[in-house]
């Protein structure tokens, strides 16, 4: 395993620990992030092990995408106060599982790269994020700064990551030279670092920005 990969796993593990240690200062639904981080670590390590032995690991991603979207949907469902939208989220979860599995087994194939579910899931998370921002500005908290709003940092992280990934995937599909495509992987890894570092700030913001109003 490369040093960059170990650093990546280390940042996710730090997110898991900081989220747990600061649980008393965070919204109760942040406990679901712990499940997400455990799933990410397990799938990432399994993927690296399979790649090390020269075995196909795309099937892991076909399973991971619906699990990730489900956990993120549950988190957004708890964060967004609109009851009708919460019902929409439940519908989205069920529909995503059906559509994702259909495309995995009947269109893309589990032995190939999982693009459809990834792009669809990314779009859904972006949609959730804008819905939260809309609610935040139409019905803002009575007091406090956005800087010490933990979920504001989560939404910022998700928007930065998924928009960046759209750019990365588009550029990667445009370039046909394999050596150049390999060099672009640094963009993907940098976006992953940024995602979890912003998560870390979100888990710690009520201490970092304690006196920001």
Burial 137-147 (b: 16+ CB within 10 A, else e): eeeeeeeeeee
**Assigned domain for 63 exists:** yes
Averaged pLDDT for residues 158-175: 87
Report d(CA 109, CA 112) in Å as an integer.
Answer: 6
Reading the block at residue 54, the tokens are: 């020269």
Q: What pLDDT, in 10s, does the model give residues 34-61? A: 999 999 999 999 999 998 888 888 899 9
Report whether 140 contacts 169 (CB < 8 A). Answer: no
**Assigned domain for 149 exists:** yes
Half-sphere exposure in the Cβ direction for 55 (13 Å, CA):
9
Provide the pLDDT for residue 139.
79
Q: How confident is the model at residue 177 (pLDDT cuts 50, 70, 90)?
A: confident
Mean model confidence pLDDT for the chain: 90
Reading the block at residue 157, the tokens are: 């992280």
Q: How confident is the model at residue 175 (pLDDT cuts 50, 70, 90)?
A: confident
The pTM assigned to this predicted structure is 0.91
The answer on pLDDT for 213 being more than 60 is no
Q: How confident is the model at residue 143 (pLDDT cuts 50, 70, 90)?
A: low
Reading the block at residue 115, the tokens are: 């693009």
Number of domains observed in the structure of the chain: 1
**Assigned domain for 139 exists:** yes
**Assigned domain for 108 exists:** yes
Provide the pLDDT for residue 208.
80
**Assigned domain for 213 exists:** no
Give the domain extent around 191. 3-208
CB-based contacts of 211, cutoff 8 Å, min separation 6: none
Report d(CA 61, CA 186) in Å as an integer.
Answer: 19
């Amino acid at each position: 395993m490369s040093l960059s990969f170990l650093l990546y796993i280390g940042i996710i593990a730090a997110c898991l620990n900081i989220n747990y240690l600061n649980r008393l200062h965070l919204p109760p639904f942040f406990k679901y992030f712990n499940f997400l981080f455990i799933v990410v670590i397990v799938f990432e390590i399994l993927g690296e092990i399979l790649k090390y032995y020269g075995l196909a690991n795309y099937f892991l991603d076909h399973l991971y995408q619906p699990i990730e979207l489900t956990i993120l949907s549950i988190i957004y469902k708890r964060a967004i106060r609109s009851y009708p939208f919460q019902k929409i989220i439940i519908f989205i979860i069920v529909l995503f599982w059906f559509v994702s599995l259909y495309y995995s087994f009947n269109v893309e194939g589990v032995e190939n790269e999982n693009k459809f579910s990834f792009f669809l899931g990314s779009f859904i998370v972006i949609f959730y994020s804008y819905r939260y921002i809309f609610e935040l500005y139409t019905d803002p908290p009575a007091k406090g700064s956005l800087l010490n709003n933990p979920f504001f940092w989560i939404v910022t992280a998700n928007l930065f990551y998924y928009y960046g990934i759209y750019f990365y995937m588009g550029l990667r599909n445009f370039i046909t030279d394999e050596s150049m495509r390999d060099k672009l992987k640094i963009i993907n890894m940098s976006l992953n670092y940024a995602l979890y570092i912003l998560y870390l700030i979100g888990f710690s913001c009520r201490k970092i920005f304690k006196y920001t109003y």
